[in-house]
Structure 1
Amino acid sequence: MSWRFILMIIISISWIPILIFFVTNINSKLISQVQITISKPWTLVTRNNVRLSRLYKKYNLLLNLTAFKTNHLSNKTIIYSCTSFCGGWGDRLRGITSAYILALLTDRHFMIDMNYPCDILKVVEPNFVNWTYVKHNKSKNRTRLYINTMPSWQKAYRNNISNMIKSNDFVKVWSSYDDIIISANSDYMTPALHNIYMLNKTQQLLGQIPISQATTQIFVAFLFELLFKPSIAVRNRVDSILINSRHRHLICLHIRIGKNPTNPLDVAFTARENTTKSMIDFVDNYLLNKSSSLIFVTSDSSQAVSDILRHYPNSSMSIVGPILHIDRFDRRSPTICDGFVKVIADFYLLGECQTLLLSTSGFSSWANLRRENPNEELYHYNEKLGKIKKLIT
């Protein structure tokens, strides 16, 4: 081999790092994030980067992505507030995404004020949209409108708010207020996008997507990635499972029992007492046909988790940490924030499952929408029948 030929090989190889740098910087952060996954494909961060890239490709030619990623620098705000009773994580996501869409439609700055059960920044951080809550100086004379539709007994008030967002010019109605503070778990996104007064603004947001298709179900996965990225504490919990699930089919069980010794302050669901047994029987009979399967379980009952781990001693896992319902908990507990971290870690991990068995719960329903294929291998515990049924969303 001549020295000239060897020299040509060295020169050619030396161009590879430059070429990689050029390619990964052609079109922003999204492309570079995909490159990272080649070396570390089993971490939550890299999986989320791939997910966001996939969503970006799906919507790039359809949605006005720039408008969706914009947090207006207006002096007027819409603030999602959760400082007391505001439901579980599924309820909160419904309220947060609704408030964000309302902020986009009204050209207001969007923020999240959540310190219940502890600061939201302990579990998720701003991603492409900086929603960090900044308190205004109390000395400033700002007008505020408080919208709290959480109390279910305020039916007339809840209906009035829903009807206004659906049928009235809420931009005009709210125009005299500097700050609009919203505590809600209702879906205001869908009716707001279909409001005839918002037609021009909605069309600017949706781009090529017909207004008839503008629903929370369609946009929630994309909005979640735009708004949030997991905190370090959450990432560490999830990665401990993902690393062990390499090359294995991940079957996930969400067992929502309701009031039980682990969560004595929760609502009672008497028809769910056989959920754990039904899920075990279904997995044994229909799903465990591959030796490579790994079962992940999350539940509001420590007994349910123990039953699964005991039944599958060599092929089941759960995320460590105290079991907590983030809206119904013992305020004297010293582990509340740690429990909040576990809840969000469980939520993220449910989005990585190839097969998912759900209880009736907004928590796992929203997690399912983040899966790469939400409609595939999706099953639900039917309380009336006491059986697991395939679910089509």
Structure 2
Amino acid sequence: MTFKKLKQFLSKKKKKQMLFFHYLKYFSLKQPKQKQIVVCFDGLFTHGGLVDRLKGIVSFYQIAEQLGYDFKILFDNPFTLSTFLEPNEVDWELKRRNLTWHPTQSKCLYLVNNFTAIPLQTIKKSKANTFYVYANIDYSKATFPELDTQDLEQKWRADFNALFKKSELLEEKLNEMTSEPYIAFHSRFTTLMGDFEDTTHKVLSVTQQEQLSKQLLAIINRVKAESNKSAYVFSDSINFVNYIKQNTAIKVVEGNPFHMDNFSKSSQLDGHLKTLIDFFMIANSEKVYFLNVKPMYNSSFSKYAAIIGNTEFQVLET
């Protein structure tokens, strides 16, 4: 066994132990009348950002629908999901006090960053009644192999809207933003600009940061001139957001970009609110442009916002 495989094996074993001792606290012989899937975001594991969590949620709602299972979401870390997104057509909210765990009838599935899993088949073959799922992948293609990309996006959008409606707080904040048409530019730097903690570690020099910012601004100005529309820039880098503010009249959403897996600052609700505002601002735009110039990183944040908003999406690399 290679060192990498040994590390993966030990990590998987450790997570199984964590799950066992975590759910042992909820031991109960009482079981739900209907089989159910519960997608969990309870601080036990990292999941990634907002969209990673939404991928896991929608994927397992789709699986629950396919199998005729009840569907619930336990999302109370790093904030309570219903603070921003409330149940719409589906009564999905589950509190910790309502958790039950049975040694043979409950099953935990840890699928974070597991791109090869086919969870529909895993759950379908299992004899368990309750499935506690930790996931951050969009499995819709594996669940619906007969659908093309356009149909998958349409279904994802419909299922998201069946699950969620904006809370009064989120709706109020979005209504304060703008009523005029605009295009949206989105960029993901992670650690490149030296202002963001993430799973990556590369930081550009000050000179490289400035060169990349100038290159991106040139692209933004060119596209904006061609579209002749108002524009907003969204980014995970406060340094780039500030650069845009200082060098153009292009609009930004005020506030500091924030990552949901930053547990040390999980009490900062305003940071999470900004993430939701950015997401729905992008969804409500006339067109979405994702800036992906080397050595920048890919992101599905604006792609899924465009899917929800049924908005045209384009990647700009030069």
Shorter-chain TM band: 0.7 to 0.9
What is the CA deviation profile of residues 108-160 of structure 1, one whole-angstrom value per residue up to 9, with x for unaligned ones?
110111122211112211111121114436497872111111156xxxxx64x
RMSD (Å) for aligned C-alpha atoms: 2.9
Say if 1:354 and 1:269 are closer, same or farther in 2 by CA, change over 3 A: farther
TM, length-normalised to structure 2: 0.75
Structure of larger gyration radius: 1
Residue equivalent to 1:128: 89
* Matching residue's letter, 2:94: Y
Q: Distance in 2 between matches of 1:127 and 1:141?
A: 33
Residue equivalent to 1:144: 106
Q: Which residue, out of 279, 284, 288, partners 2:221?
A: 284
What 5-or-longer segments of structure 2 have no aligned partner?
A: 1-31, 292-297
* Matching residue's letter, 1:264: E
Residue equivalent to 2:294: none
Residue equivalent to 1:78: 37
Q: Does 1:344 align with 2:282?
A: no
Residue equivalent to 2:190: 258
Q: How many residues align?
A: 272
Residue equivalent to 1:297: 233
Kindly state the Cα deviation for residue 334 of structure 1 after the two structures are TM-superposed. Answer: 4.5
| Preserved CA contact (<8 Å) 2:88 2:162 | yes
Q: Distance in 2 between matches of 1:100 and 1:109?
A: 9
Q: Does 1:191 align with 2:123?
A: no
Between stretches 259-268 and 340-349, larger displacement belongs to 259-268
What 5-or-longer segments of structure 1 have no aligned partner?
A: 1-72, 153-157, 195-210, 388-393
Q: Distance in 2 between matches of 1:280 and 1:322?
A: 20
Q: Distance in 1 between matches of 2:123 and 2:263?
A: 39
Residue equivalent to 2:67: 106
Q: Distance in 1 between matches of 2:185 and 2:217?
A: 9
Q: Does 1:237 align with 2:199?
A: no
Q: SS at the partner of 1:251? A: strand
Residue equivalent to 1:178: 129
Kindly state the Cα deviation for residue 356 of structure 1 after the two structures are TM-superposed. Answer: 1.9
Residue equivalent to 1:362: 300
Kindly state the Cα deviation for residue 269 of structure 1 after the two structures are TM-superposed. Answer: 5.9
Q: SS at the partner of 1:252? A: strand
Q: Distance in 1 between matches of 2:105 and 2:77?
A: 25
Kindly state the Cα deviation for residue 350 of structure 1 after the two structures are TM-superposed. Answer: 0.2
Percent identical pairs in the alignment equals 19
Residue equivalent to 1:312: 248
Residue equivalent to 2:257: 323
What is the CA deviation profile of residues 30-64 of structure 1, one whole-angstrom value per residue up to 9, with x for unaligned ones?
xxxxxxxxxxxxxxxxxxxxxxxxxxxxxxxxxxx
Superposition pairs of residues 27-46 of structure 1, within 5 angstroms:
none
TM, length-normalised to structure 1: 0.62
Q: Distance in 2 between matches of 1:89 and 1:237?
A: 18
